[in-house]
């Protein structure tokens, strides 16, 4: 993902995250001196400008992480000088088997917004996340029940022209499931989590402007920045054509002006769970 493009097109996620935090995250119970790991923070903008200020001075250590080198570099460049040594950014994919021993049982809280639906191996990711929590620690994660882009990532991974750019790495683990919520719950349980609470909310977002709609989706494509310059135009055309064919998208046309607006429906799930003291 391109950090600048994401910065200009993430108001839907920012509003959603603020809603989730105010409704489901009870930070009053967080204690002085605790530590937080954020998974899939993106470019750090939401974390630094919105999430951390809500925590005040309670936190002793915050680690913002993302799979994307570009996102982590952007966060380092934009936010690091201003911050204190208790804030770190790192490249981290919890799906990988080799989690550094320096991260094991280090965090009181793991938070993640809009990221887990990009895991193609949720089982390994949740086991590793569990291992990074301290006993007694807690996780809150918001994710899409179905990612609108899953079909595209799945089809493009086998596409004669667009295959080979790693789309398969981002197809949700439960993409083909009839009941992703149940699969996620089972995966949390299998990873060792207890006291699992799940909340779901349905949303409809309307983009009155096609350009904004296009940019919103392009900003969420992890492969776009790897497409060579000479192929970019064709790729963007094919990608957006597929987005607009998606079952979660409907296109409405104003009879008077001819202007088209784009409506996206999705269901957000919030998982809250603990690693109980043994
Ligand atoms: C939609 S963005 C959300 C960013 C931010 N949390 C927000 O809500 O604005 C999803 C982020 O998850 C990251 N991501 C995708 N797969 C990941 C993985 N396996 N491990 C860590 N981060 C991942 C992407 O690079 C991207 O920055």
Domain boundary assignment for the chain: 3-146+169-204+265-274
Give exposure, 226-235, as e/b (b: 16+ Cβ within 10 Å).
Answer: ebeeeeeeeb
CATH topology of domain 3-146+169-204+265-274: Rossmann fold (3.40.50)
Shortest-distance Cα residue to atom 2 of ligand 1: 42
**Spatial contact of 271 and 141, defined as CB atoms under 8 Å apart:** yes
What is the total residue count of the chain? 278
Instruction: Using only the alpha carbons of the chain, give its radius of gyration.
Output: 19
Looking at residue 81, its pLDDT comes to 61
| pTM (2 d.p.) | 0.95
Ligand 1 pocket, residue 115 CB under 6 Å: yes
Cα of 40 from ligand 1 centre, angstroms: 3
Looking at residue 269, its pLDDT comes to 98
Question: Quick one: which of 50, 188, 208, 32 has its CA closest to 119?
Answer: 188
Cα of 125 from ligand 1 centre, angstroms: 13
Looking at residue 45, its pLDDT comes to 93
The parts of the chain modelled with pLDDT lower than 50 are none
Looking at residue 11, its pLDDT comes to 92
Looking at residue 119, its pLDDT comes to 96
Ligand 1 pocket, residue 93 CB under 6 Å: yes
Residue 253: beta bridge partners?
260
């Amino acid at each position: 993902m391109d950090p600048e493009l994401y910065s200009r097109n993430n108001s839907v996620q920012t509003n959603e995250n603020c809603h989730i935090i105010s409704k489901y995250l009870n930070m009053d119970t967080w204690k002085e001196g605790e530590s937080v790991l954020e998974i899939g923070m993106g470019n750090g903008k939401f974390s630094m400008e919105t999430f951390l200020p809500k925590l005040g001075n309670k936190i002793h250590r915050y680690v913002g992480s993302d799979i994307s080198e570009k996102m982590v570099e952007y966060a380092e460049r934009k936010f690091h000088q201003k911050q204190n040594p208790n804030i770190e950014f790192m490249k981290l994919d919890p799906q990988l088997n080799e989690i550094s021993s320096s991260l094991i049982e280090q965090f009181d809280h793991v938070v993640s917004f809009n990221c887990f639906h990009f895991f193609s191996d949720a089982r390994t990711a949740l086991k590793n996340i569990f291992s990074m929590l301290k006993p007694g620690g807690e996780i809150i994660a918001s994710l899409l029940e179905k990612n609108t882009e899953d079909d595209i990532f799945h089809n493009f991974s086998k596409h004669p022209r667009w295959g080979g750019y790693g789309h398969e790495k981002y197809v949700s683990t439960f993409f083909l499931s009839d009941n992703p919520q149940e699969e996620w719950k089972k995966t949390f349980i299998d990873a060792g989590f207890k006291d699992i609470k799940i909340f779901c909310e349905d949303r409809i977002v309307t983009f009155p402007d096609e350009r904004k709609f296009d940019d919103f989706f392009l900003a969420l494509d992890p492969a776009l920045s790897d497409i060579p310059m000479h192929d970019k135009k064709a790729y963007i055309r094919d990608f957006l054509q597929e987005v607009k064919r998606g079952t979660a998208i409907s296109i409405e046309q104003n009879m008077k002006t001819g202007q088209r607006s784009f409506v996206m429906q999705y269901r957000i799930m919030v998982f809250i769970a603990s690693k109980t003291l043994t």
